[in-house]
A = this chain, B = another copy of it.
Amino acid sequence: MLHPDRFFPADPGMRAIARRLFEHIEPLPLICPHGHTDPAWFAQNAYFADPAQLLIVPDHYILRMLVSQGLSFEELGAPVRGGAALEMDGRAIWRRFAENYHLFRSTPVRHWMDFTLETLFGVEAPLSAKNADDSYDRIAEALTTDALRPRALFERFNIELLATTDSCLDDLAHHSAIADADWAGRVIPTYRPDSVTNPDAPGFAENLMRLGQMTGEDAATWRGMLAAHRRRRQDFIALGATASDHGHPSARTEDLSEADCETLLQAVLSGEASDAQKEAFRGQMLTEMARMSLDDGLVMQLHAGPRRNHSTQVFERFGPDRGFDIPGATNFVDDLRPLLNAVGHDSRLTVILFTLDEAAYGRELAPLAAAYPCLRLGPAWWFFDSPEGMMRYRVLTTETAGYYNTAGFNDDTRALPSIQARHDMARRIDCAFLAHQVAEHRLGEDEAHEVAVDLTYTLAKRAYNLEAVS
């Protein structure tokens, strides 16, 4: 099922170059500086539950596709608010997925799943109604073995470092447990403060009060709130964090006076803030986080663009992260200017930008990253974490920003078993891109070998300040 030349260019000359490049980078360890795996897995190292709960129910890529073709969240086992009836039988859920496997043809889910099924579970044919039960049994059996426990997967995948993404309100107990454990795997947290920087987050005011309590600061005042963040960031840093992460609907930043900031905070705390004030608050908090980074060295990630919870009905019944986050146009050139003018030339700062608006790659992001010393381009994200998406990313950014203003690969996954599949695809696509450059005599093959190593390994470590640590 997995062809050794998958994702390489069809042209025999280019394919041969891609093979040579890939051969050198395939054995490199995996750097995973951004993702959404659960630190509890590595802390507790428990066996995973049934195949559907592991591979289908938590995966919004899969849920949305099946829902788009008429299946219901309930029959896919997705928890419903209010506790309405839902499918609890993992085998029944797996059968529905297998019967509809054709829907995923030529999508990344298909590529990741084929790789995972074959390499971890020895399941070789594409899934179908016919082999649903057999594949379910095989996977269920494998999940009872030690080879499929979280730490074993981490080691099997040759992961050098993995960062999770953690609410700034998280007690980090799992990360502490990992640090204290008799296990060599490096799993570190990432500071994600969206629940207290986005006034539209559920429970925003209460969240801020909780931040205050956790840090002994008065988070109901501007200065107190900033101090609270500074303290909490230190807690994360103590457990190895090198980065913060910010998920915003736009890339809007602000650089307001302290008095205006205080007014804004009181407005958003009152629950009466206008949409414009909420947006300004989010924007100001990005600039504040950048300022904190100057002192504590956390690399800042900005994931801008998604309009979250587009379907009110899905959000109200099934909650967030169910596949109904839809991207929109994003204006980086105007929105980032306040932050960049405030701190964009300070050599202590790194800001890694992610977009869901590919029109911005060549028009805004590559020109910005190829000018401001603090900026790096994060890899193709979410909907574009796919063969063509990754290829467009390279095609649309490289001629302006080069390779060295990019930040390597992120697997960005909630699905631990798919991590190797995702890195495998990214490495192959980068080799395909480089093979094209070499075959058209735009780059020497010796240089392409160097670049391939950098894209796979070096740049991620450098962008996320992981070099010293390793």
Chain A positions near chain B (C-beta within 8 angstroms): 3, 5-14, 64-65, 67-70, 102-108, 111, 126, 307, 310-314, 323-329, 331, 333-334, 337, 340-341, 344-345, 347, 356-359, 362-364, 366-373, 375, 383-384, 386-389, 395-396, 398-405, 436-437, 439-444, 447, 450-451
Instruction: Determine the chain B residues whose CB is within 8 A of the CB of A70 once the complex forms.
Output: 347, 373
A443 and B106: CB pair below 8 A?
A: yes
A389 to B395, CA, bound (A): 9
Residue contact A111 to B442, C-beta cutoff 8 Å: yes
Flag if B440 contacts A6 (CB, 8 Å): yes
Ordered by A's residue number, 10 sampled pairs between the chains whose C-beta atoms are within 8 Å are: A68-B372, A69-B373, A103-B402, A103-B404, A105-B447, A329-B329, A359-B363, A363-B383, A383-B400, A387-B440
Bound Cα distance from A10 to B12, whole angstroms: 9
Give the distance in Å from the alpha carbon of A403 to the alpha carbon of B344 in the complex: 42
Cross-chain contact B347 with A357 (CB below 8 angstroms): no
**A440:B359 contact, CB within 8 angstroms:** no
* CA gap between A440 and B12 in the complex, in Å: 11
- The complex places the Cα of A307 from the Cα of B105 at a distance, in Å, of 36
Q: How far is the CB of A11 from chain B (nearest CB, A)?
A: 5
Minimum CB distance partner of A360 in chain B: B329
Contacts A105-B443, A363-B328, A442-B6; A311 near B402 (Cβ below 8 A): no
Give the shortest distance, in Å, between A380 (CB) and chain B (any CB): 11
Contact between chains at B69 and A405 (CB < 8 Å)? yes
Q: Known contacts being A326-B367, A383-B366, A450-B102, is A65 close to B402, with CB within 8 Å?
A: yes
- Whether A367 and B327, one on each chain, are in contact in the complex, defined by CB atoms closer than 8 angstroms, is yes
Q: Which residues of chain B are within 8 angstroms of A11 by Cβ–Cβ distance? A: 10-11
Complex Cα distance, B364 from A359, in Å, reads 12
Determine which residue in A347, A366, A404 has the highest number of CB atoms from chain B within 10 A of its CB, and name it: A404
Q: Which residues of B are found within 8 Å of A313, using beta-carbon distances? A: 341, 345
For the complex with contacts A65-B370, A68-B375, 16 further pairs of A-B residues with Cβ separation under 8 Å are A8-B440, A10-B11, A10-B13, A68-B373, A102-B450, A111-B442, A126-B444, A307-B334, A310-B333, A311-B344, A311-B345, A313-B341, A327-B364, A328-B364, A358-B359, A388-B395
For the complex of A and B, 6 pairs with smallest distance between CB atoms: A3-B441, A10-B439, A6-B441, A386-B399, A359-B359, A64-B371
B402 with A326: CB separation less than 8 A: no
A87 to chain B, nearest CB (A): 18
Contacts of A341 in B (CB 8 A): 311-313
Contacts of A447 in B (CB 8 A): 102, 105, 126
- Chain B residue at minimal CB-CB distance from A2: B441
Name the residue on B nearest A347 (C-beta).
Answer: B70
A57, B347: Cα distance in complex, Å: 22
Residue pair B356, A363 in contact (C-beta under 8 Å): yes
Cα distance A10–B447 when bound, in Å? 18
Query: Are A451 and B105 in touch, CB under 8 angstroms?
Result: yes
Given contact pairs A10-B14, A106-B443, A373-B68, A326 touches B404 in the complex (Cβ within 8 A)? no
Q: Are B106 and A437 in contact (CB under 8 A)?
A: yes
Whether B333 contacts A107 by the Cβ 8 Å rule is no
Contact A5 B441 (CB under 8 A): yes
CB pair B371 A362 closer than 8 Å: no
List, in ascending order, chain B residues with CB within 8 A of A401's CB: 68
Chain B residues with CB below 8 A from A328, complex form: 331, 333-334, 363-364
For A373, the chain B residues whose CB sits under 8 A away are: 67-70
Q: Which residue of the partner chain B has the closest CB to A434?
A: B106
Q: Which of A340, A369, A403, A441 has the most CB of B within 10 A?
A: A441
Q: Would you call B371 and A326 a contact (CB within 8 A)?
A: yes
Q: In the complex, how many angstroms separate the beta carbon of A174 from the nearest chain B beta carbon?
A: 31
**Nearest-CB residue, chain B, relative to A325:** B367
A100 to B, closest residue via Cβ: B404
> Which residues of chain B are near A398, meaning CB under 8 Å?
106-107, 388
**What is the bound-complex CA distance between A466 and B371, given in angstroms?**
37
- A304, chain B: closest CB distance, angstroms: 12
* Min C-beta distance of A273 to chain B, whole Å: 20
Contact A327 B333 (CB under 8 A): yes
A106 near B68 with CB under 8 A, answer no
Q: Contact check: which of B7, B69, B334, B444 meets A404 at CB < 8 Å?
A: B69
Docked-complex contact B9 and A440, CB < 8 angstroms: yes
CA distance A8 to B307 in the complex (A): 39
Contact A333 B340 (CB under 8 A): no
Contacts of A13 in B (CB 8 A): 10, 12
